[in-house]
């Protein structure tokens, strides 16, 4: 069995809590921004609860009302993008928390932050597109 270099830097518990706060803020701040943006929506536009949920759902926020687009109606390119982004985000978040090598942890964390920003922006796109 290969030993991890966990004794350098944060322990697993502290690193997990730190990353939870960072990843949570990356999602919560745009969710609150989405609620503020939704205040400018016309009657019949996106509701505040859906505007708050959209950044958490990322590319799958297309299924939220108003004007929901079921996944079966998505283009092949968008469906591939949504699936690829979900896989990259899941693997990079897990790698940033659990990787033994410092290089792998830092690389996974960088990829996770970029993927999470793209995920959140895909959700905010739904909010902005439903203002009118």
Question: What is the full per-residue pLDDT of the chain (132 aa) written as tens digits?
Answer: 455 655 556 677 888 888 889 998 998 999 999 888 888 877 777 888 888 999 999 999 988 888 888 888 889 999 999 999 999 999 999 999 888 888 999 999 999 999 999 999 999 998 888 876
Largest CA distance in the chain: 61
Residue 105 lies in a domain: yes
φ, ψ of residue 106 in degrees (nearest 5): -65, -40
Distances (CA, A) of 60 to 50, 76, 78, 80: 12, 14, 10, 12
In a domain, 4, yes or no: no
In a domain, 65, yes or no: yes
Please check whether residue 79 lies inside any domain of the structure.
yes
For residue 6, being part of any structural domain is answered with: no
| Domain tally, the chain | 1
Tell whether 116 is covered by a domain. yes
Pull the structure tokens for residue 131: 């203002």
Residue 101 inside a domain? The answer is yes
Alpha-carbon gap, residue 56 to 30, rounded angstroms = 9
Position 101 scores a pLDDT of 87
DSSP for residue 63: G
pTM for this one?
0.84
Could you tell me the residue range of the domain that residue 51 belongs to?
12-129
In 14-107, the DSSP E strands lie at: none
Q: Is residue 72 domain-resident?
A: yes
């Amino acid at each position: 069995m290969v030993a991890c270099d966990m004794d350098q830097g944060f322990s697993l518990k502290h690193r997990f809590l730190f990353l939870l706060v960072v990843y949570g803020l990356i999602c919560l701040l745009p969710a609150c921004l989405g609620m503020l943006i939704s205040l400018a929506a016309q009657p019949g536009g996106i509701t505040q609860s859906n505007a708050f949920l959209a950044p958490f759902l990322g590319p799958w926020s297309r299924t939220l009302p108003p004007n929901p687009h079921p996944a079966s109606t998505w283009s092949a390119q968008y469906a591939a993008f949504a699936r690829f982004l979900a896989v990259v985000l899941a693997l990079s978040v897990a790698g940033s928390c659990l990787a033994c090598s410092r290089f792998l942890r830092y690389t996974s964390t960088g990829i996770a932050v970029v993927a999470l920003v793209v995920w959140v922006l895909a959700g905010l796109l739904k909010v902005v597109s439903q203002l009118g």
